[in-house]
Amino acid sequence: MNITYIIGNGFDINLGLKSRYVDFYKDYIKRTAIDDPVIQKFRDEINEFVKQDCNKKDENTIDWQDLEVALGHWTEKLKVEEVEPLYINIIDSLKDYLKGEYESFDLEAFSRVEFFSYLLDPISENYNRNQITEIQNFWRGFSEPDDINIINFNYTTTIEHLSSYTGDRLYIGENTIGHKTYLNSVLHIHQSLNDEEILVGLNDVSQIANKEIHKDKHLCNLLIKPRTNVLLGTGVDRDCESIIRKTHLFIIFGTSAGITDKKWWNSICTRLQNDSVRLLYFVYSPDDVKHIGIRYDVMSEKALRSFVQSAGIKDTSFFETISSKSYVCFKSKLFKLSVSYDDRFPIEKKYQFGRTEVVVSLQDKGVKYVSLIIDAPDEKAGVLAERRWINEFFPGAIELMQSLSYYNLDGKNVPYDTIMISYKGKNKNIYFDISSFYGKNDNYEIASIPMERRKTAFVEEIRNKN
């Protein structure tokens, strides 16, 4: 069976990446002011414009398709010659922001095995018993092996990193009904951060409010994503179309399915008219939505009708065509990957310095950091253990900076060292809880140094002696 995952920004948000529109916007308005008054006006006004244009009172509910829709409407404020500089500023700023966020993110904190387990079984934790039986019976109607293709609407390469996918067909295990399963392809329909260009824009010319732009072929190629794909000539659009035409099971996750990608929703709806095709549609629902079970019929119908509308299908009866083949899920547990530093670092590591034993224990499971507790009798042994631990688990790392800070625990200030390292081209912070030994200086006479400077002075002394 051919299985196609359609992945949107919700996937990266699940991991902890700050990739929402509002995250980018806060960074965008802080960027260095430029002389171009058109771009500056856009920066100053776009957030309120999007909220009004898309009827979103809370900026946290704005998603990327809202920005794209608003951009199409914003063109009414622009002269033809002002469009390209503004567009380039937007995509360059977005790419810079996402690169910075992605490069500071520790994807190695997640388990490859757990990621594969979600790919292999998207149904068990997300659908009721009757739905699971129906989906599995449909699935069993196909012979193994199963091929998974991922059409990724994100610019980040989180999926490639999590799966170690490099372009070759990859065996990932047996799925929920016992079929051998392969990851066949990962395609970025809007390009990725590894590409020179990324696509931000609209589905067709009707979404560009400024009629003068309709006459400019170059600007239409720039603003309309399907045309940009043709212009770039990567063939990714043709590959995605081919995959969709052969798909038996679509799994849509993490995307708002907005009208700026109408082409792709229309292609999926067209394929869903085939009797041998099903859809698993994972729809975001706020945590305060209650009684989804007994309201499922109403909520799922609303979600599917909205999806059909985004596909540009005006035939009101089309909902009936796909409703019996579609399984909508709210509040899903799909791709809720847990941070698993346990896979990389031991829970406890012991070091011996002469007669002194020091224990370094894994404390927190964070996404952008590694947090540890050091149990040492004095600062000399504690600091040596910090370096020994870093050298063992990040061999060849370059120490960039060290600082002393405090965090509040039950009303007490607990000291910790933050050591920033450069490792395999990325900067990473390692946090050490040093409360067991901080200020315990053994035979070193530094008591006269003010407390806030003792740590730095002691570290320098240790370095000089070792």
User: Has residue 280 been placed in a domain?
Assistant: yes
Instruction: Clarify whether residues 284 and 347 are in a common domain.
Output: no
Q: What's residue 367's pLDDT?
A: 55
Extract the tokens encoding 174. Answer: 């047996």
Instruction: Clarify whether residues 321 and 347 are in a common domain.
Output: no
Instruction: Clarify whether residues 283 and 346 are in a common domain.
Output: no
Instruction: Clarify whether residues 275 and 377 are in a common domain.
Output: no
Instruction: Clarify whether residues 239 and 358 are in a common domain.
Output: no
Instruction: Clarify whether residues 350 and 282 are in a common domain.
Output: no
Task: Give yes or no for a contact between 175 and 251, defined as CB atoms under 8 angstroms apart.
Answer: no
Instruction: Say how many domains are in the chain.
Output: 2
User: Has residue 335 been placed in a domain?
Assistant: no
Instruction: Clarify whether residues 255 and 345 are in a common domain.
Output: no
Q: What's residue 379's pLDDT?
A: 86
- The closest of 399, 407, 401, 417 to 455, measured between CA atoms, is 417
Q: What's residue 315's pLDDT?
A: 87
Q: For residue 185, what are the domain limits?
A: 2-330
Instruction: Clarify whether residues 124 and 162 are in a common domain.
Output: yes
Burial of 262 (0-12, 13-18, 19+ CB in 10 A): buried
pLDDT one-digit tens code per residue, 54-64: 999 888 889 99
Give the sheet arrangement for strand 146-152, strand by strand: 170-174, 180-188, 146-152, 2-7, 249-253, 278-283, 326-330
Instruction: Clarify whether residues 318 and 352 are in a common domain.
Output: no
Instruction: Clarify whether residues 372 and 326 are in a common domain.
Output: no
- Distance, in Å, from the CA atom of 74 to the CA atom of 432, rounded to the nearest integer, reads 49
Task: Give yes or no for a contact between 202 and 71, defined as CB atoms under 8 angstroms apart.
Answer: yes
For all residues of the chain together, what is the average pLDDT?
A: 89
- Does the pTM surpass 0.75? The reply is yes
pLDDT one-digit tens code per residue, 367-392: 556 789 999 998 889 999 999 999 99
User: Has residue 26 been placed in a domain?
Assistant: yes
Q: What's residue 343's pLDDT?
A: 66
- Distance, in Å, from the CA atom of 201 to the CA atom of 199, rounded to the nearest integer, reads 7
Instruction: Clarify whether residues 143 and 233 are in a common domain.
Output: yes
Residue ranges in the chain modelled with pLDDT below 70: 286-287, 340-343, 364-369, 409, 442-466
Q: What's residue 345's pLDDT?
A: 82
pLDDT one-digit tens code per residue, 131-164: 999 999 999 999 999 999 999 999 999 999 999 9
Where a domain ends, among 298, 330, 362? 330
Q: What's residue 387's pLDDT?
A: 92
The per-residue DSSP string of 22-57 comes to HHHHHHHTTSPP-S-HHHHHHHHHHHHHHHHHTT-S
- Distance, in Å, from the CA atom of 403 to the CA atom of 410, rounded to the nearest integer, reads 23
Residues 6+ apart with CB under 8 A from 74: 42, 46, 49, 209
User: Has residue 21 been placed in a domain?
Assistant: yes
Where a domain ends, among 330, 349, 368? 330
User: Has residue 336 been placed in a domain?
Assistant: no
Q: What's residue 92's pLDDT?
A: 95
Where a domain ends, among 288, 305, 330? 330
Rounded (5°) CA angle 428-432-438: 145
What distances in angstroms separate CA 343 from CA 109, 110, 340, 346, 365, one per listed residue?
Answer: 8, 8, 6, 8, 11
Instruction: Clarify whether residues 172 and 253 are in a common domain.
Output: yes
